[in-house]
Amino acid sequence: MKFHKEGVTSLIVAILFSVLVNAITFFFFNDYQIVKIIGYILSALVLIIIIQFFRSPQRNWIQRDGDIISPADGTVVVIEEVEETEYFNEKRLQVSVFMSPINVHINRYPISGNLKYYKYHPGLFLVAWHPKSSTENERTTAVVEDNKGRTVLFRQIAGALARRIVFFDQEGKSVEQNEECGFIKFGSRVDLLLPLDVKLNVKLNEKVKGGITTIAKF
C-alpha cells in the first residue's frame, strides 16, 4: 500500500493539526483525563482519514483489449441511454460510478489509445447522484480512441464534498489502459459514455474496482 502524491499537502496539514491539538491538550488540559482522551482520539482520527483516503493500493493490473475497465472504485449508480452533446452529438450508453469518501479516489484510463479530447468545465457542486451533476457540476471531459477507432468518453465530476479535480495529461498523449489519469478529492463520481452496441458487464448497485472490473466489452 502506497500513499498517493496528491495527498502530501493534506497529510502535512493533518500532521500539523494533530500536533497542535495534542500540544493544547497536554499543556492546557493535562489534568482533565476525558479532554485528553478526546483530543488524542480526534488527532488520530484525522490522520487515519487522510491516510486511508489517499491510499494507493497495489493491484494486479491486466490490460485487456476490447474490454472497457472501470476508471474508479465505487458503486454503479446510473445505467441509461443519454444524448451526449459535448463531443459525439449522438446517443450513448452512460454508466456512472459513485465514489464514497472511503473508496480509493485514483482515476484510471478505461482503454488504451490516444487522448483525443480533454476539457475542464467549471460549474456547480450538486450532490454527485443528482441527475444534473453530469452537465452542471464542475467536471472534466476526456475522450480516448484506441487503435481500432473505438472511442470512450469519461468525465470526472465534482460533488458536494469534492472540491478539487485533478487530471494529469493533455490532448494528444498516448495512454495505457489502467494508467493513472487523475484524482478527485473527497468523494464524487465518474461517468462513462459508451457506444450503444457494447456488451454491458455490470448492473446497478454493483461494486466495482478501478483498473480491475470490466464495465463493458466492445
Residues assigned a catalytic role: 188
DSSP 8-class letter at 137: B
Q: How far apart are CA 69 and CA 98, in angstroms?
A: 15
For residues 51 and 19, the answer to whether their CB atoms sit within 8 Å is no
For residues 74 and 99, the answer to whether their CB atoms sit within 8 Å is yes
Q: How far apart are CA 218 and CA 214, in angstroms?
A: 11
Q: What is the grid cell recorded at 198?
A: 457494447
- Adjacent-strand bridge partners of 120: 140
For residues 7 and 54, the answer to whether their CB atoms sit within 8 Å is yes
Q: How far apart are CA 37 and CA 193, in angstroms?
A: 49
Which H, E and C letters describe 148-173, residue by residue?
A: CCCEEEEEEECCCCCCEEEECCCCCC
